[in-house]
Amino acid sequence: MKQVLVLINPKSGVGGPYRFVAAIEKTWDTPERDISFQFSQSAEDGAGKARRAIKRGVDTILVVGGDGMVNTIGCELVGTNVRLGVIPAGSGNGFARHFGIPLHPAAAAEALLNGYTAPIDVGRANGRLFFVTCSMAWDGALVEAFEKFPFRGIVPYVLAGAQQLFEYKPQPFEVDIDGETLNFKHPLIFTVANLSQFGSDVLVAPDAQADSGDLELVAIETKDMPIVLSQVHRFIEKTFHLHPLVTNRHFKNMTVRRKNPSPIQIDGELMKADAEVRIEVLPSALNVIIPN
């Protein structure tokens, strides 16, 4: 009998957690599956519950939450045979949107039930795993401002971004990327993408493939931003990352030497980091359920 654990973030999602329980139970609770539901009260609590479930021999963990929750549970599943399924309940849901998982709980539960399992790549920044994106310029600093808003969603993201345009102080980055050296004087955007978007359909790396075996750097200097922004149609055409003033590189290993230690953005959450940040790809490291 297949064993499935559903781990729910009670803080995520509109309409309360029970609509997710009902949607998943309706589709997944069949005679060939033993399904149990647990709340994840914190990152540590969820990680502990995931570890114990893996020990018990669970086959699948369904996470009901956003990218932050996916990260904390996904970290426990890397290197195991346990499959991760994501029922989106966050505000940005970059992971779920990348894979085309429906945002409605019932549709998501059904899409995962009828989906297939495939390994995806995982990024690692100074030892910390990430599945969606990692940023360390203005695109990282805005998360600090975003976290101070009392509510989540695209609106506080835009407001936090605007606020940080005034407050963010760029520092020079010296970058070794698969043997090539790049220098950024005043980086504004410096994002490493494993998947295509930050969430809310803000596509930083529209062509990113989860199983490419590499990561993608998308970076731009502060001075070049107005010129790039003058071609707004590129956002619609999904070619922003290909603009000649945007640095766009696929890579496996990268070291970023910054002047000072400062926090970096990992899957929508802030993490303390030394001045030097080492980023690498772990190819095919996590088994994920993907809709057909």
Q: How far is the CB of 144 from ligand ATP (least distance, A)?
A: 13
- Closest CB to ligand ATP among residues 50, 246: 50
By CB under 6 A, residue 51 contacts ligand ATP: no
Q: How far is the CB of 159 from ligand ATP (least distance, A)?
A: 15
Between CA 73 and CA 116 the distance in angstroms is 20
By CB under 6 A, residue 115 contacts ligand ATP: no
Question: What's the full length of the chain, in residues?
Answer: 292
* Pairing assessment for the beta strands 215-221 and 60-65 based on DSSP bridges: unpaired
Among 17, 20, 60, 72, binds ligand ATP (CB under 6 A): 72
**Tokens coding 105:** 């709980």
By CB under 6 A, residue 74 contacts ligand ATP: no
Q: How far is the CB of 184 from ligand ATP (least distance, A)?
A: 26
- Closest CB to ligand ATP among residues 42, 114: 42
By rule CB under 6 A, what string of x and - marks binding of each residue 265-284 to ligand ATP? ---xx---------------
By CB under 6 A, residue 231 contacts ligand ATP: no
By CB under 6 A, residue 145 contacts ligand ATP: no
By CB under 6 A, residue 252 contacts ligand ATP: no
Among 92, 140, 156, 187, binds ligand ATP (CB under 6 A): 92
Q: How far is the CB of 255 from ligand ATP (least distance, A)?
A: 27
Among 4, 6, 66, 131, binds ligand ATP (CB under 6 A): 66
Minimal CB distance to ligand ATP: which residue?
66
- Cα–chain-centroid distance for residue 182? 25
Among 123, 187, 199, 291, binds ligand ATP (CB under 6 A): 199
- Closest CB to ligand ATP among residues 140, 268: 268
By CB under 6 A, residue 140 contacts ligand ATP: no
Q: Bridge-partner residues for 256, per DSSP?
A: 175, 277
By CB under 6 A, residue 9 contacts ligand ATP: yes
Question: 3-state SS string over the chain?
Answer: CEEEEEEECCCCCCCCCHHHHHHHHHHHCCCCEEEEEEECCCHHHHHHHHHHHHHHCCCEEEEEECHHHHHHHHHHHCCCCCEEEEEECCCCCHHHHHCCCCCCHHHHHHHHHCCEEEEEEEEEECCEEECCEEECCHHHHHHHHHCCCCCCCHHHHHHHHHHHHHHCCCCCEEEEECCEEEEECCEEEEEEECCCECCCCCECCCCCCCCCCCEEEEEEEHHHHHHHHCCCHHHHHCCHHHCCCCEEEEECEEEEEECCCCCEEECCEEECCCCEEEEEEEEEEEEEEECC
Q: How far is the CB of 194 from ligand ATP (least distance, A)?
A: 14
By CB under 6 A, residue 197 contacts ligand ATP: no
Q: Which residues bind ligand ATP (CB under 6 A)?
A: 9, 11-12, 40-43, 46, 65-69, 72-73, 90-93, 152, 199, 268-269
